[in-house]
Each structure stands twice: as C-alpha cells, then as structure tokens.
Chains A and B, each alone.
Chain A
Amino acid sequence: MSALQSLTAVANWRSWAVLRRNALVFLRNWRTAVIPPAMEPVIFFVAFGLGFSRYVEDLSYRGVNINYATYVAAGLIAYTGFGTPYYEALYSAYVRMFYQKTWDGILATQVELPSVVWGEILWGAVRGMVNISIVSLVIAVFDLLGMVHVKVQFLVLMPLLGFIAGCAFASFALIFTATVPAIDHMNYPVFLVGWPLSLVSNTFFPIEPKSGAVRALMQLNPVYQLAECARGLLVLGNPGSHLVGLLGSTALFLLPCTLLAVRLTRRRVLGD
C-alpha cells in the first residue's frame, strides 16, 4: 500500500467505522471515561491558575495585561488538547492492540491497517475535543465569577482547534504504541516526551528563548501553537499568526507520524 493510500485512508469509511466503534464504547462508559480524566485539567486550573494567581503579578500578553489565571486558562486548553489524544493513543490504543486483540478482529474484515491507525488518530482527537469542551465550560464559569477574563464567545472554537492539533498528537503517540515492547515501557513516551512537551510550550508559563534556533523549534511545536492560538483568541479575539502556525505544525507532525505509525503497526500487528 502506497504512502498516498495510507494518508488518504482518513477519508475512507473504514477509518470512520473504527472511530465509530471507539465512540460506541465511550458512550457506554461515558461516566468513567469523561469525568475523572476531565477533572485533571480542572484541578490544575484551580491549583495553579487560581492558586498561584494571588502570588504572581499580571503578565503582559501581546501588549495586554492579564492575570495569571487567564494565562493558564488558555494553557490548559493546550495541555488538555495535547494530553488527551496523546495518552488515549498510547494507553487505550495499546490495550486494544495488545491485550484485547481488537485490532486483530477488525483487520479480519474489510478494514485495512491504515484505517485502523486513522480511526485511532481521529478517535484520540475526538476525545481531546470532549475534554476541551469540559475545560472550556469550567473557564466560562470562572469568567462569570470574575476570576478570569476571556472572550467567552471564542471558547466554542477551542474544541475545534483541539481536534486539529489532536490528530497530530495522536499520530505521534501511535509511533510509541507500535514500538514499546510492553505497557510498562510507556513511561518513556509519557515522562520523557509527554510531560516536557505539555509543560514547556507556553502552557503554564511563558518561554522567551534568546536563541533563534530554539524559537524556530518552538514554532514547529503544535502544543506551543495551540496554546498561543487559544490564548490569542481568548484574550484578544485574534489568534495572529498562530492559527497558520497551528495548521502548519500539525501537518508537519501528522503526515510523517501517520506514515511511520502505519509502517510500524503493520510490522507489529501483521508481522510484515
């Protein structure tokens, strides 16, 4: 199967059938699947955003003074938009692939392997949308209480931005899913990749590197672009260049990561 066929499989009914399967399972277990994971960013928001806000001075964001809680609110959108699809495609996909043999069953049908990979990518991104929606709701409540100051109307765009970037994060995670020898080894992509990426991307504190090379690298980081795009919209109503940056960095991540994930998953699952 060619690279083009692997990439265009996203538009194939087979990929959406895999997505549908995961969505049906989620709907059966939505209480346990939604509430505990979505509480994590809310707790982060209360602990870091509201907690630290009393001790941290206002920050200047593109010429506008904002309190720290408002800064963190946008960061949590990015944190959730990264973490949810990334961990879904790491742990849940691994369980489906290795323990439950769900993929083996699916591959014995008309569904081909690139569609399984795409189905997992899309599902990870949808899960990101769901959790971002909950975080957005919480931010709206705190805005009503006057604890953060965001342009509430733009909160409805957050799940969409999360979906776009979520595809990149899920495809990235599936590379590890296809290669780790056992689930214990997930600690490497979680602590050595996931945590640094989610914390050092203008999510909880601004980073202003002096090195041009580091600044250029940051532009390629979809977590950074998602955080800045969300912040631009929520604070100013204008994402600036970060919308293009988000789309570009997502494409740069998504396309090679998907191809690599298909290749590695084929080797692991089909032994080819």
Chain B
Amino acid sequence: MTAPILEARGLIKSYGKRVAVDRLDLTCRRGTVLGLLGPNGAGKTTTLRMLYGFVPPDQGSIYYAGKRFSENRAAAKRSIGVCTQDDSLDYDFTVAQNLFIYASYFRPRVEGLDDRVAELLDRFELAPYADASPHVLSGGFVRRLLIARSIVHRPSVLFLDEPTTGLDPSARLDVWELIDRMRAEGLAIVLTTHYMDEAERLSDELLVLHEGRTVAHGEPHRVIDRVLGDHVIIVPRGEPEREEIAAWLQARGTEQVATVLGELRVPVSKEDLVELTARFAEATWQVRPPNLDDLFIALARRNGRLE
C-alpha cells in the first residue's frame, strides 16, 4: 500500500460552543477515492474547509505528502485541486479562458498550459464551447468545467464537494465516469456526497460522519454490511402482519427496526429474508438495497441518538 498523500490527525473545529468536527482522522492515497458521507450538519463541509485551508483547525494536524500543511502551505495548496459545490465559475470569461485564468493563480506556473487546456477541453467534451460563455452550458457541462478547472494545474489531491448534486441521471453518470478516470490516472480524490449509490460505486473507502464524529469507516461494502446487512424490507402501514414481522425480527436480534411515515423499515441479511419470506408468505412488503437514509437511521440508533 502506498504512503498517504493526504493525512489528517485529530482534527477539531468548534464554532462557539458547537463542536463542528471532533477528533477526526482520515487518510487518502494516490489512485483512490475517499467518500466523505454524512447528513447536513455532520461536519463534512467544515472538514473540507480545513483540508483545503479555508479555516484552520483548532487542534490536530493535516499532512500533504508527509509534510505538515501549516508549515508548507504554499506547496500543499499547489498540490491540491478544489471543486466546490457552488458554481464559482468566472462568468466574465469564456469556457477556455476560465481554465487559463484559473491556472494563473498557481506557482510554479503550469507547464505547457496551452496543451493542457486543449487536452482538458477535449477530455471533458468542452471543446465545442471553448469560446462560448459558461452561461450557455447545461448543469452537467458546468460541472464538467468546474472539475476540469480544478485539475488544470495537475494536482495530486482533488476535493469534490457534492459534484453531482442537482444533475440529471445522465449527467451524473458522466461525472462518475470522469471521476473514475481521474482515479485511474493516480489522483487521490476526496468526495463528499449525499448519494449512497454514488459513494458506494466510486469510493474505495468511506468515512461516515455524524455530528462531527466518525461513526463508520472502511470499504463501502464492509461499512454497509457491518451496519445494515444485505437488504432493507419496507412493510407498509396497512399490512396486517406488520407487528408480528417486527416482533419476529427483533426476536432474531435485529435492533434497527425503524418506523418512517408509518412504514416499517428493517435491514435484513439474505438468510433472514429467505426465512421471512417462508414464514410470512401472505404478507406484503418491498425489498430494496440499503441506502444512505437507512445507514444514517441505523447509525443514529446505534449511537443512541434516535429512539
């Protein structure tokens, strides 16, 4: 396993009495995607803002390529690319000029900049719009340009803050492809998202935050399996055997029986699902893969924050 290109140890950040991030550790290696997950207010954004130097941590250290960020700030910032969630494109310039002007904010200067811009325009399928204003771009292409811009200076670490929020399914898939390619090229990527399927498909490692703390960490399938199991069954409000099913699952040790708008939502293993189907043959329920909602509900219950 290669040495981490990004490492954070014991990060703490408070705003007044509110602890936004509490003793957070993370690492990210070249050619991997670290998925940072959590509900609103979990501390994802504060974590990112500390990692790319917008705000200093109250405690803890951040290292890029083994060097402490606070002592090698300029070099570290040269090695990172940031694609914020908000559209911060420079609408006073054309699509191509956005790449050129962004590159001018880095030293040492980007070598072979003309070629680099041409390459990115091609790769992100932005070449037809090179001389147009970003105003003409669709949401998906705005996101492409934001990502292209964030890697124009050839960083080693890329931060992608909710890169597919607001995109249609097709544009989302396109962004996934781009992320996958950048990972394959050796970029270390820190990705925040609200979409479990996105995190699951793209991340090599997941870090799940809740109220500023890490509540789960590891490979996506392991995190989900460990916390939830294989499936989630949804028993509708009007199902006559609803209470019996809940009691049966609880008797088998299932602790995570949640009620959402009157529906019973329960993560189950493959084996439990087979038995449940045999035992309650007349009952009606839906089965689906676990998603982010299930994970958060389960984690919150496990941490005693939901009854």
Which residues does A use to contact B, with CB under 8 Å?
A: 13-14, 17, 20-21, 24-25, 28, 100-102, 104-111, 270-272
Which residues does B use to contact A, with CB under 8 Å?
A: 49, 52, 54-56, 74, 77-78, 82-84, 86-93, 101-102, 104-107, 149-150, 153
User: A156–B106 Cα gap in the complex (Å)?
Assistant: 36
> Which residue in chain B gives the minimum CB-CB distance to A111?
B105
> Which residue in chain A gives the minimum CB-CB distance to B87?
A101
Given known A-B contacts A14-B105, A24-B101, A111-B105, A105 and B90 have beta carbons under 8 A apart: yes
- 16 further contact pairs, Cβ within 8 A, besides A21-B101, A102-B90: A17-B104, A21-B90, A101-B87, A104-B88, A105-B90, A105-B149, A106-B105, A108-B52, A110-B106, A110-B107, A111-B105, A270-B49, A271-B54, A271-B55, A272-B55, A272-B56
Contact of B86 with A101 in the complex, beta carbons under 8 Å: yes
Given known A-B contacts A108-B52, A272-B54, A20 and B82 have beta carbons under 8 A apart: no
User: A100–B104 Cα gap in the complex (Å)?
Assistant: 19
Q: Which of B49, B77, B86, B89 contacts A110 (CB 8 A)?
A: B77
> Which residue in chain A gives the minimum CB-CB distance to B105?
A109
User: A170–B55 Cα gap in the complex (Å)?
Assistant: 26
Using Cβ atoms and an 8 Å threshold, which residues of chain A touch B150? 108
Contact of B88 with A108 in the complex, beta carbons under 8 Å: yes
Contact of A109 with B77 in the complex, beta carbons under 8 Å: yes
**Min CB gap A23→B, angstroms:** 11
Q: Which of B56, B89, B105 contacts A17 (CB 8 A)?
A: B105
User: A17–B101 Cα gap in the complex (Å)?
Assistant: 9
Contact of B84 with A104 in the complex, beta carbons under 8 Å: yes
Q: Which of A13, A28, A272 contacts B92 (CB 8 A)?
A: A28
User: A25–B90 Cα gap in the complex (Å)?
Assistant: 10
Contact of B102 with A109 in the complex, beta carbons under 8 Å: yes
User: A165–B116 Cα gap in the complex (Å)?
Assistant: 41
Q: What 6 A-B pairs come out closest when comparing CB atoms?
A: A105-B88, A109-B105, A108-B82, A101-B88, A104-B88, A25-B92
Using Cβ atoms and an 8 Å threshold, which residues of chain A touch B84? 104-105, 108
**Min CB gap B110→A, angstroms:** 11
Given known A-B contacts A105-B88, A270-B55, A110 and B102 have beta carbons under 8 A apart: no
Using Cβ atoms and an 8 Å threshold, which residues of chain B touch A111? 105
> Which residue in chain B gives the minimum CB-CB distance to A13?
B107
> Which residue in chain A gives the minimum CB-CB distance to B89?
A105
Q: Which of B54, B90, B91, B149 contacts A107 (CB 8 A)?
A: B54
Contact of A20 with B104 in the complex, beta carbons under 8 Å: yes
Using Cβ atoms and an 8 Å threshold, which residues of chain B touch A102? 88, 90, 92
Can you offer 7 A-B residue contacts whose CB atoms are under 8 A?
A: A21-B101, A25-B92, A108-B82, A109-B77, A110-B74, A110-B78, A272-B54
**Min CB gap B71→A, angstroms:** 14
User: A41–B90 Cα gap in the complex (Å)?
Assistant: 31
Using Cβ atoms and an 8 Å threshold, which residues of chain B touch A107? 54
User: A21–B103 Cα gap in the complex (Å)?
Assistant: 11
**Min CB gap B49→A, angstroms:** 7
Using Cβ atoms and an 8 Å threshold, which residues of chain B touch A20? 104
Using Cβ atoms and an 8 Å threshold, which residues of chain B touch A28? 92
Q: Which of A100, A105, A270 has the most CB of B within 10 A?
A: A105
> Which residue in chain A gives the minimum CB-CB distance to B53?
A112
Q: Which of B86, B87, B93, B104 has the most CB of A within 10 A?
A: B104
